[in-house]
């Protein structure tokens, strides 16, 4: 597989190793969104961007919910503009039928997987998290703190 790293949306000149944002959307079969929530990234993926994508593309969002315009994603899935989506984050959490376009009957039958902000919680991750927590406490007790964030 070719892995493309998109340049920021709206940037004219790409940094080394980056591909223009629109080009990544037009060519990717799997698009994984991993960006922070900032004024520049809210609704970064909306109707226009979803229309650019391949009809067989799968969109995965593990960053923040409002990076993707949820009503636009629902429309794109219903109209077959993209092949499917997986989201682990929502504009409002916890996501319910009352506050989210992507859960409940309105999204029933679509090629959409939703998880409640828990996709990170695999068994291997939990084992590693516990190991690191234990190690950090032991190091702190010995007067050798690690992973210190200032």
55 in catalytic set:
no
Query: Which one from 7, 49, 64, 70 is the annotated catalytic residue?
Result: 64
Give 109's contacts (C-beta < 8 A, 6+ positions apart).
none
Query: Which one from 26, 55, 92, 93 is the annotated catalytic residue?
Result: 93
| Three-class DSSP category at 60 | strand
| Three-class DSSP category at 8 | coil
Query: Which one from 8, 18, 54, 117 is the annotated catalytic residue?
Result: 117
Question: Which one, of 55, 70, 59, lies nearest residue 32 by Cα?
Answer: 59
What whole-number distance in Å separates Cα of residue 150 and Cα of residue 84? 41
| Maximal C-alpha separation, the chain | 60
Active-site positions?
Answer: 64, 93, 117
């Amino acid at each position: 597989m070719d892995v493309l790293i998109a340049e920021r949306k709206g940037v004219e000149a790409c940094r080394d190793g980056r591909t223009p944002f629109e080009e990544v959307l037009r060519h990717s079969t799997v698009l994984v969104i991993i960006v922070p929530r900032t004024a520049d990234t809210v609704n970064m993926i909306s109707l226009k961007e979803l229309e650019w994508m391949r009809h067989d593309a799968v969109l995965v969002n593990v960053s923040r919910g409002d990076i993707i315009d949820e009503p636009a994603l629902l429309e794109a899935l219903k109209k077959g503009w993209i092949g499917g989506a997986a989201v682990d984050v929502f504009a409002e959490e916890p996501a319910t039928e009352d506050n989210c376009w992507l859960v409940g009957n309105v999204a029933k039958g679509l090629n959409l997987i939703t998880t409640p902000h828990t996709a990170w919680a695999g068994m291997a991750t939990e084992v590693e998290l516990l190991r690191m927590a234990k190690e950090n406490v032991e190091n702190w007790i010995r007067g050798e703190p690690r992973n210190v964030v200032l």
